[in-house]
Structure 1
Amino acid sequence: MKTIDKPTYASTIKPAHPSCKPVPLKQISYLHGEPRIIWEEEEVNQMIINEDLQYAVIEKISYGWPDIQELRRLIPKQCELKGEVNIGLLSNIYILIRAMLLEDNVNMLSKP
């Protein structure tokens, strides 16, 4: 009997591109006592590819801690998403929505 492995959380957030170019660590500099890191545009673009964030949206939830399972059920339905989507909590008011299709990303950004 063949068993089907359930996907783990780690496998769902793992970049889809196994040949990721590493982005070097940067030194922290200070401007008026505030720490900052300066990234080149190419480095930012590479980080977006490495982390599979091309079609990602960060959404703010203003009224309390959302039930993640409920969000995972409602958001694809409300935004009429056709492809795979990963939804996770970033903090108590922010969620990260990662779509796999450009069309889904456009649909998410065009919904109120």
Structure 2
Amino acid sequence: MPAPGSTYAKKLKPKPVHIQLIPLKPITYLHGKPQVIWEQEEVNHMIVNENLEYVVIGKFSYGWPDIQDLRKLIPKQCELKEDCNIGLLSNRHVLIKTTLLEDYVNLLSKPAFYITQKIGRSR
């Protein structure tokens, strides 16, 4: 018998996720360059909080295709089995967030991927 006050809608409602907040860190300087020092435990918490367990950062050495083309080319040419999210981090770096551990391992297991555009140029 269901608990008093319990409804089907309440059971379907997602449970709140507890996210441990990490305080801002002070900036220190090493040889005149600013740096922030993180403990490994803090980094692990950030990875979990931001859902970045299966993320790979790729670097383009010679330029890159348009982001929309990358979102089509990377899963196909890197032989990813499940969906992934792809976004630009900087002018040469792309973030690939996979949903499947096997795809994550596949991306990390090869020293390089060569992405070929429709016009036949490698990047």
Confirm or deny a common fold (TM above 0.5): yes
TM-score range, shorter-chain basis?
Answer: 0.7 to 0.9
1:32 counterpart residue number: 31
1:79 counterpart residue number: 78
- Deviation of the 1:62 alpha carbon: 1.8
- Deviation of the 1:65 alpha carbon: 4.0
Q: Detail structure 1 runs of 4+ shifted over 4 Å in the superposition.
A: none
1:96 counterpart residue number: 95
2:56 counterpart residue number: 57
Unaligned runs of at least 5 residues, structure 1? 1-16
SS in 2 for 1:75: helix
CA 1:109/1:26 → structure 2, altered by over 3 Å: closer, same or farther? same
Question: Alignment length, in residue pairs?
Answer: 96
1:13 counterpart residue number: none
1:106 counterpart residue number: 105
SS in 2 for 1:104: helix
SS in 1 for 2:86: strand
Unaligned runs of at least 5 residues, structure 2? 1-15, 113-123
| TM-score after normalising by structure 1 | 0.75
What are the Cα deviations for residues 9-51 of structure 1, in whole angstroms up to 9, with x where unaligned? xxxxxxxx94321111111122333222111110000111112
2:6 counterpart residue number: none
2:66 maps to 1:47: no
CA 1:110/1:35 → structure 2, altered by over 3 Å: closer, same or farther? same
| TM-score after normalising by structure 2 | 0.69
What is the alpha-carbon distance in structure 1 between the residues aligned to residue 30 and residue 70 of structure 2? Answer: 40
The CA RMSD measured in Å over matched residues stands at 1.8
The letter of the residue matching 1:84 is: D
